Structure 1
Amino acid sequence: MAICAIVIAVLGFAPSGLDPTARRGPLTPLVATHAATSIAWLALFFVQTALAARRQIDLHRRLGAVTMLLAPVMIISGYMVAIAMARRGFDLSGDLGIDADPLLGLVNPLGDLATFGILVAGGYWYRQRRDVHKRLMLLAIVGGLMLAPLAHLIGHSPLPRETAPIILIPIALFLFASAAYDRVSLGRIHPVSLWGATVILIWDLLRNVAIGPSAAWHQFAQWLIS
C-alpha cells in the first residue's frame, strides 16, 4: 500500500508540474514545502513498513519517533496552503476548479488534515499495540493523504468536472483494502480496519454533501480566510 500511495501521489501531482500549460500560477515556496514534507512522509512510511515486515522493530520505533516530528509540519503547511488557495480563489495547478465556490473547496483539504492528524495521533498513542497501530497509520495515509492526489488526477484528466464524485470509488477501495486483506489473511476483519474505514468514508460524504454546502461552513470558512 505504501508503494501504491506513492504512485497515486506522483500521478496526481506530477502532470501539472511536467505540463505547466494548464497551470494558473507558479509553484510557491509554501506549496513546495508542503509537497516536500508530504513526499518525505510517504517515503518514511514505505521505510517503516519495510522495517516492520523485516521485524526490525527497534529501528522502526526509533525512526517513528523522528517521523512524528514531520506530522505537525505537514498539517501546518497544508493548512496554510489551503487557506492561501481559498483566499486566492483558485487552485494553482488548475486541476480542481474551485473558482465557483472557493469556500466550498476549502472543506476537503481541511477535512483531510483533520483526518490525518487524528489518525496519526491515534497511531502514535497505540504504538505498543501493533495490530491497532499499523492499521491507524495506514488509514492516516489512505484517508488523510490520498483524496488530494486523486482529486488532482481526476481534475487533470479529460473527464468532465461533473464526474468528480467518481473519486468516491477509488477512495472506498483504498479505505477498505485493509479490511479485505484482513479477511483473506486472518480469516476475520480487524475492527479498526472495518470501522475506521467506515467512519472516514462517512466523514468524506458528510463534508461534501452536508457540511461544505452549508451556510454555517461558508461563514466559518470566511472567518478562517479573513
Structure 2
Amino acid sequence: MATTANGTGATGQDAERRFYGRMALAIIIAIFIGFAPSFYLFQMVSYPRPNPPLTALTVAHGIAATAWLAIFYTQIRLVAAKRRDIHRQLGVWGMVLGAAILPIIYFTSLHAIPRGLHPPIIDAESWSAVPLLAIPAMAYLLWMGWRNRMDPQAHKRFMLVYTLCMVEPGLGRWPLFPPNMAGHVISNVLAFAFIIPLVMWDRKTIGSMHWATKAAAVALAFSCFARYIFWGLGIWPDIVRVLPY
C-alpha cells in the first residue's frame, strides 16, 4: 500500500512514525552532545568552553528539558505501538511539563546574567535575549499543539517544532563552532535548518507545506533570529533590566 497524501494506510503510517522517530533521535543527540560537559556528563568530559558549576536552578532546567525529550520520544513510540490511550493520558502531563519549562527558562536566563554565563561575543544582558526570546515562540507552539490536539497532523507538527526550539542552545555548545559571532550565527542557522526535513516531508506526503508547518516555522524563526534585531537596535539590556525576577 503506497503512502497517501493524508498519511493513511499502513505504509504511510509506518513511514510517518519513522520520520518523527528519527527527528526525535536527531534532536536528542544534538542536545546531548552540546550539554554533555555542562550537564549530562558533568566533570566527565570537557570542551574548550567554560563549564560553570551546576546550581539548583540549572539542574531543574536540565531535568525538565530532558523529561520533555523523553516524553516526546515515548509519545512517538506509543503511537507506533497503537497505544493511543496511554498517548493521550501522557500527553496531558506532557503539556503541563511543557508549560512548566517556560518559567524555568525565564528564571534560569536571568539567573545566568550575574553569573556571567555568556560567550565573549556580547555582554551578559544582551545574551539573555537568546533564551528569553525563545519563550514566546515556545508558548505559542505549545498552545497551538494543545488547541489542535484533535487534529493529529497539526498537533504533531507543533509539538515537533516546540522541541526544535531546544536544538539551538545544544548545537551552539558543540565544539565545532568557535565562540565568536560567526560561530554563533552558523550554529543558529544550522539549528533552524532542522525544520527542513519537516518541510521536505510535507512536500513528499501532501505536495506542499502543511499550514501548521508554516505557522510553526515562523515561530521557530522568531526564536532563532529575533535576537539580532534587538541586538542591532541595542535596546535589549534596557528591556531585561525591567523584567521581574
Please report the TM-score for the alignment, with normalisation by the length of structure 1: 0.86
Identify the match of residue 146 of structure 1 among 151, 158, 167.
167
Question: Against the structure 1 CA distance between its residues 203 and 31, is the aligned structure 2 distance closer, same or farther, given a 3 Å change threshold?
Answer: closer
Cα RMSD for the two superposed structures: 2.2
Q: What is the count of residue pairs matched by the alignment? A: 217
Question: Against the structure 1 CA distance between its residues 208 and 158, is the aligned structure 2 distance closer, same or farther, given a 3 Å change threshold?
Answer: closer
**Runs of 4+, deviation exceeding 4 Å:** none
The structural deviation recorded for 1:185 is 2.9
Does residue 128 of the first structure (1) align with residue 150 of the second (2)?
A: yes
Does residue 106 of the first structure (1) align with residue 106 of the second (2)?
A: no
CA contact (8 A) 2:119 2:179 kept: no
Identify the match of residue 102 of structure 2 among 72, 75, 91.
75
Helix, strand or coil at the partner of 1:212: helix
Does residue 35 of the first structure (1) align with residue 62 of the second (2)?
A: yes
Identify the match of residue 178 of structure 1 among 198, 213, 230.
198
CA distance in 1, matches of 2:106, 2:72: 21
Q: Which runs of 5+ in 2 are unaligned?
A: 1-22
Please report the TM-score for the alignment, with normalisation by the length of structure 2: 0.80
Q: Deviations over 1:24-78 (max 9, x none)?
A: 5311111001100100000000001111233322211111011122123211221
Does residue 9 of the first structure (1) align with residue 31 of the second (2)?
A: yes
Sequence identity percentage: 24
Helix, strand or coil at the partner of 1:19: coil
Bigger Rg, structure 1 or 2: 2
Match of 2:241 in 1: 222
Identify the match of residue 71 of structure 2 among 41, 44, 55.
44
CA distance in 2, matches of 1:61, 1:34: 25
CA distance in 1, matches of 2:156, 2:99: 19
Q: Which runs of 5+ in 1 are unaligned?
A: none
The structural deviation recorded for 1:11 is 0.5
Deviates more, 1:159-168 or 1:74-83: 159-168
